[in-house]
């Protein structure tokens, strides 16, 4: 293990606001700079850094091996983490050094760079089994478990994944080796959400041969890939975002625990406007209707368009999971239950009361979303790249969702 003290500078919109210091034996300390603490007009790093009076928290406990949850959630998970760590020659569990090599292109407006003159220690590969030929690292991090890469759009169409260095303004999700037609599924669900008036970034369903520089060893398991425009990159400028695992200080492995849709709704109600609340309810209803059992804490985010005010971020990761993993349970409890078969107007009334949201706004939005969904689904389902099995699975599911039939 490396016992040398090393420091990473945390930059927000290109300005240094904090440091993460490795003090040996994989213990790390996070601290804001005095300049950031004393700046009354400072941009917001995250809602979880607010104290009970709305001020800035400035005292943090040291962490071991993992970083604090806010920064741990910026890193990829599982297979993607191991792939990028292997390329860089970094043990994937040593998050300080993984952030070091991936910190140039993180989600939102954060970048992380080593303090001036510091170089990576030579023994970072300790704990990696076997002999690995290290390559120049891909210096971007897309949090989550799916194989997805930051990509650049060609002027003539198609996308390319940069072989090294930072990525681009699109996210490419490759086909799954376990489940059939996930790109087609996600593209269809996102397009349906767009038709229902939700805030959906530009998307593409691309033949896999229109994406160049797919890294070796990844494998090509289908004919198409799904691409979505990064909403944290606008006109080459970074826009700050954070997901709700970061907001609640929950580590990625606990993204299905520790909080509920009621908790998310309460934050949106406090921080956002009525339109943010309505958008939250539209997405909650929609993802229940399509049977998306994977809307965990990392699949809900806020965005800081003016650097200080949080609003609900554009939609992402809408997939009907029932064709792959049948069941009656959503990933997060709504208010009292996480069962699709318990999702009705009474459950939404309970959510509104407990999260202190306007009940009429919640219920009217839910009813409008259900009515619009039935209309759009009937008209568009056969024009989307969905198999007959997927359509039949969703329609069978709808018959078991009380809100879908009662409204």
Q: What is the pLDDT of residue 123?
A: 61
Q: What stretches in the chain show pLDDT beneath 50?
A: 1, 128, 130-134, 136, 139-141, 144-145
pLDDT for 206 equals: 92
Angle 182-195/359-380 helices, nearest 10 degrees? 120
Nearest partner of 94 among 157, 20, 38, 44, judged by Cα = 20
CATH topology of domain 239-406: 1.10.1070
Model pTM score: 0.92
Q: How far apart, in whole angstroms, are the C-alpha atoms of residue 73 and residue 254?
A: 11
- Confidence at residue 352, expressed as pLDDT on a 0 to 100 scale: 98
Q: Where are the domains of the chain?
A: 6-114, 148-234, 239-406
pLDDT of residue 212: 86
The predicted structure's pLDDT at residue 29 = 98
pLDDT value of position 161: 79
**Catalytic residue list:** 294
Q: Residue 139 has what pLDDT?
A: 44
**Residue range 337-396, pLDDT digits in tens:** 999 999 999 999 999 999 999 999 999 999 999 999 999 999 999 999 999 999 999 999
Contacts of 351 (CB under 8 A, 6+ apart): 261, 262, 265, 334, 335, 357, 362
Residue 307 CA, distance from chain mean position: 19
What b/e sequence results for 11-36 when a residue is b if at least 16 CB atoms lie within 10 Å of its CB, and e otherwise? bbbeeebbbbbbeeebebbbebeeeb
């Amino acid at each position: 293990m490396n016992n040398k003290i090393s420091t990473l500078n945390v930059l927000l919109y290109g300005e240094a606001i904090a440091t993460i210091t490795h003090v040996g034996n994989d213990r790390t300390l996070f601290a804001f700079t005095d300049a950031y603490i004393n700046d009354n007009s400072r941009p917001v790093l995250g809602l979880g850094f607010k104290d009970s009076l709305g001020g800035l928290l400035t005292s943090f406990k040291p962490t071991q091996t993992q970083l604090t949850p806010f920064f741990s959630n910026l890193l990829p998970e599982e297979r993607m983490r191991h792939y990028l760590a292997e390329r860089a020659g970094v043990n994937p569990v040593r998050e300080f050094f993984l952030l070091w090599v991936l910190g140039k292109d993180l989600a939102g407006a954060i970048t992380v760079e080593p303090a001036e003159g510091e170089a990576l220690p030579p023994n970072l590969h300790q704990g990696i089994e076997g002999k690995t030929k290290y390559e120049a690292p891909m210096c971007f991090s897309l949090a989550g478990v799916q194989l997805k890469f930051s990509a650049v759009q060609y002027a003539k169409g198609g996308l390319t994944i940069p072989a090294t260095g930072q990525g681009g303004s699109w996210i490419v999700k490759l086909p799954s080796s376990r489940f059939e037609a996930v790109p087609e599924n996600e593209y269809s669900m996102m397009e349906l959400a767009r038709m229902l008036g939700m805030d959906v970034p530009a998307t593409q369903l691309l033949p896999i041969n229109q994406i160049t520089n797919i890294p070796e060893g990844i494998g090509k398991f289908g004919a198409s890939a799904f691409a979505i425009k990064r909403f944290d990159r606008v006109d080459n400028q970074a826009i700050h975002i954070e997901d709700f695992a970061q907001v609640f200080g929950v580590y990625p492995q606990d993204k299905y625990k520790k909080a509920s849709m009621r908790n998310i709704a309460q934050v949106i109600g406090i921080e956002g406007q009525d339109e943010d609340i309505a958008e939250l309810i539209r997405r909650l209803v929609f993802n229940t209707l399509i049977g998306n059992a994977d809307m965990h804490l990392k699949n809900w985010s806020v965005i800081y368009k003016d650097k200080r005010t949080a609003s609900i971020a554009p939609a992402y990761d809408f997939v009907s999971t029932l064709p792959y993993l049948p069941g009656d349970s959503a990933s997060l409890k709504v208010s009292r239950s996480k069962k699709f078969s318990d999702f009705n107007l009474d459950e939404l009334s309970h959510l509104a009361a407990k999260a202190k949201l306007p009940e009429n706004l919640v219920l009217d939005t839910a009813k409008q979303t259900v009515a619009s969904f039935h209309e759009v689904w009937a008209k568009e389902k056969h024009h989307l790249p969905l198999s007959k099995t997927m359509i039949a699975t969703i329609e069978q599911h709808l018959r078991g969702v009380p809100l879908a039939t009662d409204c």
